[in-house]
Structure 1
């Protein structure tokens, strides 16, 4: 059984009339109620379609979710389970159909991490004259209770604040992962400063995974294209996302054998001819339940103990799964619902059209949006320091950017994107971010090759071909001075703002930003 290893996992059994109900993000036999049910038991999955019409979701995202559900259904049936698989316009219709046929059954399900889902599902099941029992979600490393006890969170505190580094060290100590007694292996908790290099021309990234789409995935992809208004590439010839447990396990093994050793030093780098670099590409599999985060962590640490990949690579990967993913889950729990609409910098601009069509001469944005369009994916630095960085500098309303990420990324769910985009990406709330993560062209030039082929000049702030990031960066600091100047982490930057305000340079920067906004409105940016 796969369960959390920090905190006490839930203990319960199923009655004869209980039916495990699995969401499309809980596709595992090794956790939750299905792991406790006898082989051959009845199992419920509801393939509800109405959500897919609410946004222009990426074609690959819908294909991934629906294909994974259908293949899991088939796997359970082959194993002898009695699978009730309901295709319905909505969960309400699905529950009505199930309880019409099984009025004496009670559903048992793991809670979804998404805010308010348990309450909504209870109401729908009550409307269907049904009964349900929700149990703790076991698809994380730590339990809710363990985190809350560690954080000593006050339930009456409407705006708690949390620190990722503190939680990460606590989880390392609790799990013993990369620990030597009570000290971190290698003597350091964090090797981030060794993971920010850019490869020279001699470096070749490991081959990207490309599981062969089977008939079920091909049929699902065609159905998605015919049924929904989607965004992004609809071809699955190079569809890289595992849709079965077997494929996910193979992807994990290939990452460890072929990519883990290369992951570390270049994990923040961005190359225009390499969408994957040496990244794990396992987020969608973990978020669907095809892989459990604990087994991924164990596989990585076993590799470190036996194959000895570089410690900076291993720690950097562990930090993403054991640290950041857990942190996002718990921050989301505590900061919702305010987090979803948070906007502490009062940003009101609409998301530029090129986030959807890629039609911009800014090479970094064109390339990154192109990556997302092709596969529903770009790595974490592209998400933070290109897409979210530009949106923050532009003044995009945070919930609008959050909606875009939620729709376009194959690994995106509301509990994932909301703290990452609104807080980390756009400094919208203050629950954990200590400053806005924004930069001029200098950072992008340091960590990518985008600037070399861009029509804009990375070193210029004003003038016709000056990189938009530069003027927007100083304009952002200028217009948000009242909220940000007192932030001790921004002191150096505001000393430069003072210099620009005392000269004519800030006036020229404002004029340049006005030009940029006009260009964007005319689709000339």
Structure 2
């Protein structure tokens, strides 16, 4: 008879590196074990950026070492062992060796992973206890209660609900509290561009050069994932909770005040500008979102940052981050296959190489290849916008974002791409498609100064592809959006265009799309 060698086997995934996680809370070092696994399939089910792979592996090993320093026994399956199992195979092996009475798991961040682990537990006839992930401010159950019976699940309504419930950036007596400053939303103050003069001197964000653990992993990543996209030359991401807190503190001290006004601006050679660069630490659970919100609020109270910047930062974490997680779990795995605009074209190959003569795309993709990072406007209004305008299969766009960004985990990435960026969910998440001509990019960046294409032109050899494809998008989707209350103005502008010019735009857009499909255009 096989007797258990441990009471509980606590499963810790690569994006659950929180010492206070629900699964670890009542762990008994004498009777329980922690299981962690560096699984090949977690880096290859999409062709992950080398920096993303290295970040996960290094953060996992640092977390393992911290647990062991506390006297906790960790059953750790390293990628450089003799065999490289999938997550499911690794867990099945651990169950066979340790024979636990029970498996305990904090809610995973991905449907695929949850299903795989549930399948192993069932096959091994071991009870699996799944605990709510209280890293988040709004539980899945709370989100479902908020969403129940609503015609639309709008961010603004959810954000106000959480602000009230949590008392964040609120003032006044309980039950009658109002938003600090009298307004819920200060977006209008947070959409400035740098103009022709540029941003000037921008404080460099703190970086964390690879330590011994990270340096030891670099040859492994380069060898085992030689064909993966991206570079490790500038890897300096936080890989521990201490480093994550240092990154937060540096942002609050040096860049939060300017974050709000210029959070949508872009500039060549400035990948971070005033952005926090803490999203990866948040999503690996190295940093608690409450700590980030509290730090920003403290800066407001100390007059170290204006309300517009603090509100814009809080909105990203308390509002958007919690909101997209709720959408992801509420909608289920089928959400990833939504495609209401019937977009079926392949993703252009230059998304993986950066070799294009479109300056904005070239700069944004080269930055991602080098650093695994791009801020939200580069994602939404450059790389995402182009994919939307040419009609790329949303699942392909989703796979690219999940692969290429160090902060990408599916619960946050998929709704941002499927819903916000590609409008593939038909308006469940975003009320309208985010489409614009090249003039938007010209206004918010200096990319167009270095480009052979003119953002004002839609037809001709120097016409900006974004501008051509914008009008073609409006034309192709006229029936769906012409009477939409938030898009009617754009389609009225289309209606005023003479038929001859519209015909030329259609032909040029078709040639652009066909050229991208054959690799004959957009080459560097």
Normalising by structure 1, we get a TM-score of 0.92
Q: 1:86 matched to which residue of 2? A: 77
Q: Answer whether contact 2:415 2:429 (CA < 8 A) is retained.
A: no
Shift, 1:319, TM fit: 0.2
> Which of the numbers 4, 10, 13 marks the counterpart of 1:23?
13
Shift, 1:116, TM fit: 5.1
> Which of the numbers 52, 56, 74 marks the counterpart of 1:65?
56
Once residues 354 and 234 of structure 1 are traced to their aligned partners in structure 2, the CA distance between those partners, rounded to angstroms, is 16
Once residues 426 and 202 of structure 1 are traced to their aligned partners in structure 2, the CA distance between those partners, rounded to angstroms, is 30
Matched residue of 1:465: which SS?
coil
Q: 2:22 matched to which residue of 1? A: 32
> Which of the numbers 321, 324, 327 marks the counterpart of 2:323?
327
> Which of the numbers 185, 190, 196 marks the counterpart of 2:191?
196
Q: How does 1:306-385 map to 2 (within 5 A)?
A: 306-385=302-381
Q: How does 1:92-491 map to 2 (within 5 A)?
A: 92-115=88-111, 117-153=113-149, 161-181=152-172, 182-199=177-194, 200-201=197-198, 203-236=200-233, 238-429=234-425, 430-491=427-488
> Greater CA deviation, 94-103 or 256-265?
94-103
Once residues 148 and 340 of structure 1 are traced to their aligned partners in structure 2, the CA distance between those partners, rounded to angstroms, is 19
Q: 2:3 matched to which residue of 1? A: none
Q: Answer whether contact 1:359 1:523 (CA < 8 A) is retained.
A: no
Matched residue of 2:408: which SS?
coil
> Greater CA deviation, 247-256 or 480-489?
480-489
Matched residue of 2:271: which SS?
coil
Shift, 1:267, TM fit: 0.4
Shift, 1:348, TM fit: 1.3
Q: Answer whether contact 1:211 1:241 (CA < 8 A) is retained.
A: yes
> Greater CA deviation, 353-362 or 61-70?
353-362
CA gap 1:201/1:482 in 2 versus in 1, 3 angstroms: closer
Matched residue of 1:504: which SS?
helix
Shift, 1:281, TM fit: 0.7
Shift, 1:146, TM fit: 1.8
Q: Deviations over 1:333-362 (max 9, x none)?
A: 122233201111111111111111111111
Once residues 201 and 152 of structure 1 are traced to their aligned partners in structure 2, the CA distance between those partners, rounded to angstroms, is 46
CA gap 1:522/1:120 in 2 versus in 1, 3 angstroms: closer
Unpaired runs of 5+ residues, structure 2, are 1-5, 79-83
Q: Answer whether contact 1:32 1:110 (CA < 8 A) is retained.
A: yes
Q: Answer whether contact 1:441 1:467 (CA < 8 A) is retained.
A: yes
Q: Answer whether contact 2:106 2:132 (CA < 8 A) is retained.
A: yes
CA gap 1:17/1:482 in 2 versus in 1, 3 angstroms: same
Once residues 26 and 253 of structure 2 are traced to their aligned partners in structure 1, the CA distance between those partners, rounded to angstroms, is 33
Q: Deviations over 1:35-64 (max 9, x none)?
A: 332466532212222232232210000000
Shift, 1:503, TM fit: 3.0
Once residues 417 and 23 of structure 2 are traced to their aligned partners in structure 1, the CA distance between those partners, rounded to angstroms, is 32
Question: How many equivalent pairs are there?
Answer: 503
Shift, 1:230, TM fit: 4.4
Matched residue of 1:433: which SS?
coil
Once residues 339 and 480 of structure 2 are traced to their aligned partners in structure 1, the CA distance between those partners, rounded to angstroms, is 12
Matched residue of 1:268: which SS?
coil
Matched residue of 2:312: which SS?
helix
> Which of the numbers 55, 61, 65 marks the counterpart of 2:46?
55
> Greater CA deviation, 298-307 or 244-253?
298-307
> Greater CA deviation, 302-311 or 425-434?
302-311
Q: Answer whether contact 2:109 2:409 (CA < 8 A) is retained.
A: no
Q: Deviations over 1:365-409 (max 9, x none)?
A: 000001110111100001000011111111111111001001111
Once residues 485 and 117 of structure 1 are traced to their aligned partners in structure 2, the CA distance between those partners, rounded to angstroms, is 41
Name the Cα RMSD after superposition: 1.7
> Greater CA deviation, 128-137 or 295-304?
128-137
